[in-house]
Amino acid sequence: MTQPANSQVNILEVQDLRTEFRTIDGVVRAVDGVSFSLKAGETLGLVGESGCGKSVTALSILRLIDPRAGRIAGGSIRFEGRELVGLDEAAMRGIRGHHISMIFQEPMTSLNPVLTIGTQIAENAARHLGLGKKAARGRALEMLDLVRIADARRRLDEYPHQLSGGMRQRVMIAIALACNPKVLIADEPTTALDVTIQAQILELLAEIRQRLGTAIILITHDLGVVAETCDRVIVMYAGRMVEAAPVAELFRVPRHPYTRGLMRAIPRLDLDAEGEGRRPRLTEIGGLVPSLIRDIPGCAFAPRCALAGDRCRSERPPMLDVGEGHRAACFEWAHGFEGARRDAGQAEGVR
Amino acid sequence: MVSYILRRLLATIPVMGVVAVFVFFLLRLAPGDPAAIIAGDDATVTQIAAIRAKLGLDRPVLEQFGLWVLGMLQGDFGTSIFSNLPVSRLIAQRVEPTLALALSTLLVAVALAIPLGVLAAAKARRLTDRLVMLFAVMGFAMPVFLIGYVLIYVFADRLGWLPVQGYKPLSEGIGPWARHLVLPSLALGITYMALIARITRASMLEVLSQDYIRTANSKGLATGRVLLLHALKNAAVPIVTVIGIGIALLISGVVITETVFNIPGLGRLTVDAVLKRDYPIVQGLIIVFAGVKVLVNLMIDISYAFLDPRIRY
């Protein structure tokens, strides 16, 4: 995918974001020092396994963390130069759904069951664009056409339960785009959908980016989705960033042992046709994700990493430049692929 | 929808039939003979027998029941044993104060309880929430007559803002009518308000944790719209249900409230008739109350379809 021309401006800059939740057992550092920037019209992938902090990062950007459960403990989120951390709630409500929108994983439960599709799209436009009732409804119709929902005029007066999962996710996208936002955050938008529908939704998102120039943060645990859709990728582990790179670069030379582990966990259909028809055995990453309650002094991945030395356990690795626009939080990144082989062998031994 | 309403209306016939059977036979099982009460303490056995014959109490019980039901089907609820007036006329005379009291109570309770419940849910576990819930627990724990006397003491006796007791019909002007209704409506409404506020809070809390509320917030909608449109409409079914259940509470509460505030309504008529064993009046009143209850239930069931588009009949 090529980037649109106006891609040089950073519209969103996240610096050292830290988000915490209070629990009975202690403070959970769900997001711990995440930094990245997003250029206009760019698609940025946020990858990692469940609980790695990618959704919390997204909710933090929109300041949707329930204050009774957690808070942004530090860092900065700048949207078009304007600081969002500490911005008052009223101003924040003017940004949500207007300049930064979000779509969620569960299309079945993310739409209000007792309001019509039309109302749910139109209220966005009415609120942020100051449209009257009729104009807002017109806008809703336009949006349904944009997300390719057939028979849009009839659908406007229908309720979510009358729509399929794929259609509901299209409606969610229509709601999110109703005010032409600069940034669209898509939190696992296809996870709950059938494979064929997944492809359609991803295609729709790509098309929207082309047509409207919306920058997209795509949160997913699916590296295949990332490879197809994103320009750049950030890999997260245990609330921290472990690697950031342009998508082709990441797949060519993954530098962080965790990223390499993730890639080995993807089934390779293409290898099946060649050779003797034997696929390489899938390897999982040995060990468990650490608890985020206690402070991890060194690298969060060190306990599961075959390359980890004493320094990795005592000192937190910063994001190091490891290539063109490619950074990884690993002291041992230079071990590269020969390291990868070795750690596969040793991880086997660990179990 | 229309066929559903018709079916439900037809289904009320057996319900009312069962109510009629219970009312009639339970009253006959209760001790005390109205003929003996009318005749007085020094009456002879023949005098009492004559009165029994006049009232039709000497006929077989089943025949009495049949005549009563047949009469009701023609709009005749029988004749009061003591005043010799038709029961339907007695009830009609007393309907206005009770209806006014019940409706104003309902209005006051719902209009205050729902905002309180929504507020408590929005401020869950904060001071506002605690105060609202404290009020709800106290309101629910206090009997209607106690609240009534406290209100009379403070607002009528001490402050003199409102009349102590009594009722002024609407035909004598809306001002006096309303002034006489304030304290009884409050006394009767506080329990009811507490109940609705609690359910509203609980139902709202459940709804507020749903994904679609997060969606509404992610759209940057105003807090009021999120709470009152996105959340309250989803929380409405249990709230409406409890408002309906509360109408049953209201009927028993009316009896006590009318006594405390000396209001000449159906509640007072009921108490007087029960004490005098005036069967036809008691029977007629219970049938009327039961009919109201059945209709309210039907209205609530129908309202579900308007509140939740997923409900179809």
Q: Which of residues 138-177 of A touch B (CB under 8 A)?
A: 159, 161, 172, 175
ipTM value > 0.90: no
Angle among Cα B89, B94, B95 to the nearest 5 degrees reads: 95
Give CA–CA dist A333/A337, Å, rounded.
Answer: 9
Residue B166 forms part of a structural domain: yes
pLDDT at A292: 84
Q: In B, which residues are within 8 Å of A102 by CB distance?
A: 218
Residue B20 forms part of a structural domain: no
Band of pLDDT at residue A342, cut at 50, 70 and 90: very low
| CATH number assigned to the domain comprising residue B147 | 1.10.3720.10
Q: What is the pLDDT of residues A284-317, one digit of tens each?
A: 887 888 888 888 889 999 998 888 889 999 999 9
pLDDT at B114: 96
Phi-psi region of B182 (alpha: psi -120 to 50; beta: other; left: phi over 0): alpha
Interface test with A, best of B123, B209, B215, B229 (most A CBs within 10 A): B215
Å from A102 to nearest chain B CA?
7
pLDDT at A268: 67
Q: What is the pLDDT of residues A86-121, one digit of tens each?
A: 999 999 999 999 999 999 988 889 999 999 999 999
B31 phi/psi in degrees, rounded to 5? -70, 160
Count of CB contacts below 8 A, A vs B?
Answer: 76
In total, how many domains does chain B have? 1
Angle among Cα A164, A165, A168 to the nearest 5 degrees reads: 85
User: What's the order of all strands across the beta sheet hosting A232-237?
Assistant: A100-103, A183-187, A215-220, A43-47, A232-237, A240-246, A326-328, A320-323
Establish if B126 touches chain A: CB-CB under 8 angstroms. Answer: no
Domain range spanning residue B223? Answer: 94-312
Using alpha carbons, select from A115, A129, A130, A125 the residue that is nearest to residue A146. Answer: A125
Cβ A228 vs Cβ A44: under 8 Å: no
Cβ A230 vs Cβ A3: under 8 Å: no
CA distances from B125 to A113, A122, B122, B129, B183 (A): 27, 33, 9, 6, 32
Is residue A83 classed as helix, strand or coil in its secondary structure? strand
Interface test with A, best of B218, B226, B230, B303 (most A CBs within 10 A): B218
Residue B40 forms part of a structural domain: no
Cβ A175 vs Cβ A156: under 8 Å: no
Residue B147 forms part of a structural domain: yes
Q: Which residues contact B31 (CB under 8 A, 6 or more apart)?
A: none
Residue B186 forms part of a structural domain: yes
Q: What is the pLDDT of residues A185-228, one digit of tens each?
A: 999 998 888 888 888 999 999 999 999 999 999 999 889 899 98
Residue B279 forms part of a structural domain: yes
Residue B52 forms part of a structural domain: no
Q: DSSP H helical segments within chain B, as ranges?
A: 2-29, 34-39, 45-55, 61-73, 87-122, 127-141, 144-151, 174-208, 211-218, 223-225, 232-260, 266-276, 279-307
Give CA–CA dist A186/A222, Å, rounded.
Answer: 13
pLDDT at A347: 44
pLDDT at A350: 39
Q: What is the pLDDT of residues B34-68, one digit of tens each?
A: 777 777 777 788 888 888 887 778 888 888 889 88
Give CA–CA dist B57/B48, Å, rounded.
Answer: 11
Residue B303 forms part of a structural domain: yes
Residue type, A94: G
Using alpha carbons, select from B159, B147, B176, B140 the residue that is nearest to residue B257. Answer: B147
Q: Which of B125, B216, B222 is nearest residue A112 as measured by Cβ atoms?
A: B216
What residues are paired with A237 via a beta bridge? A240
